[in-house]
Amino acid sequence: MSKSNFDEKNKTRLVNLDFLRGLFVILALDQHFTYYINMWYVSYFRDVMALTSTYKINFPMIGHQISTDRFNLMLGIIFTPWVSQVYLTMASFNLARKPSYLFRDELASKLKMFGLIFIFFTLENFIVAPNSGEAISFYPIMLWMVVMSIISIFYSLMGIRGVLLLTLISFLRWVVPIDMLSNLFQSIIRYNIHPGFEYDARIEYFFSSGCLGFIMGHAHYHMPNYKKVKDFYFMLLGLVFVLFYWAYGIPYIIDPSNAFAHEHDMAQSFSGTLFILGVQAFVISTFLWLEKKEIRFNVPIFTWVGANSLLVFALHRVFFVKFLAPVSLMVGSMLGRPIGASTYELYSYVGLTIAFCYFVKATRLNEILVTRKG
């Protein structure tokens, strides 16, 4: 099949996956904004000269972490362990659309794109980070680009067998002391460069999720003989993994005053990793099955965010840290209340951020700030 014929055959977007992607991006915004507010008076408050005037009501808050409310904490307990992983899983799902012989021709352009995205979000760290250590830290979206680059290389050289090999390698972390090597790497950077550095998104925590997404995407696009049963197979496998965690895993906890404190704790254990893979396989396959039954979740705000997820990711942190939070802090000080982390406040920020991204997309600002391939 030629490249043009293949593109024509597979150009239709999966509405339910756009919905899921939008939902998970919105949850990621919630998590990010929660953390920034948690730590606002510890790391991000900068206008010290006005603490005895404009921000006098905020003076007692300096050095204190702000806790979120119960409902948002419940969302964190449910979604935090896997929401940063499922975005990679879904991106890898889409990466598998083309057969390896066509994929090979586009490898260089894909690696260039991943590299540019990596550089962009590295530079973004220097804008939003409160210190140099956090600015050079390694965060999930940068890790996603590394994982997809490695998967792309193996797929272009070896086809799906290369991705299966990578999946097997990803589970060798339970044999090889990868965590110890990652801790050593983090300690070396902290000691020699900056104590605030974090090797936050570790490749061993995420790699199996990237492989899972690619395998699911390959089965969806290239295995027509399994079209009627593949979703049930993945749903069943996911359910088995989740049940294994419930039987043998350690319950997950979250700190209401630090949304990221335990973000990757579940991924450190074998049972926790199975849970993350299982819940992703079950959720994604369920929504694919629903789409096949023509049950589509075409909810405009979610599907728009899903279809423009890179734009939202590219703008949300800078927009919040440099505009929304400072304006909210100033207005709140005038009204006699400090900034808070309630669900209502957080989703007001999420809504304003999405509105800003929509404005950028709908105007010529989009041509200046972001270039997106069709």
What per-residue confidence (pLDDT) applies to 32? Answer: 96
- Give pLDDT tens digits for 280-339: 999 999 999 999 999 999 999 999 999 999 999 999 999 999 999 999 999 999 888 889
Residue 21 has pLDDT above 60, yes or no: yes
Closest to 43 (Cα-Cα) out of 123, 138, 128, 121: 128
For helices 70-95 and 343-362, the axis angle rounded to 10 degrees is 30
Q: Looking at residue 63, what DSSP letter applies? A: T
11 falls in which pLDDT band (50, 70, 90)?
low
**Rounded Cα–Cα distance for residues 336 and 45 (Å):** 17
**Residue 157's CB: how many other CB atoms inside 10 A?**
12
Q: What is the per-residue pLDDT for 369? A: 55
Q: Which pLDDT tens digit goes with each residue over 336-347?
A: 888 999 999 999
pLDDT band at 207 (very low <50, low <70, confident <90, very high): very high
pLDDT of 373: 45
Q: Would the pLDDT of 2 be above 50?
A: no
- Overall average pLDDT of the 2-28 stretch: 76
Question: How confident is the model over 211-221, as pLDDT tens digits?
Answer: 999 999 999 99
**pLDDT, tens digit (0-9, with 9 covering 90-100), for 97-132:** 999 889 999 999 999 999 999 999 999 999 999 999
Cα 155 to Cα 96, 98, 127, 322: the distances in Å are 9, 10, 35, 40
Q: What is the largest CA-CA distance in the chain?
A: 71
Q: pLDDT tens, 65-106?
A: 999 999 999 999 999 999 999 999 999 999 999 998 899 999
Please give the full DSSP string across 94-118, using - where no structure is assigned.
HHTTS-HHHHGGGHHHHHHHHHHHH
The dihedral through the CA atoms of 237, 243, 247, 249 has a sign that is positive
Torsion of CA 59, 63, 68, 70, to 10 degrees: -100
pLDDT band of residue 365 (cuts 50, 70, 90) is: low
Mean of pLDDT over the chain = 91
**pLDDT confidence tier of residue 6, bands split at 50, 70 and 90:** very low
Q: Could you tell me which of 113, 45, 84, 96 has the C-alpha nearest to residue 329?
A: 45
pLDDT category at 8 given cuts 50, 70, 90 is very low
The amino acid at residue 155 is: Y
Out of 22-31, 155-164, 336-345, 363-372, pick the least confident: 363-372
Q: Is the pLDDT of residue 372 over 80?
A: no
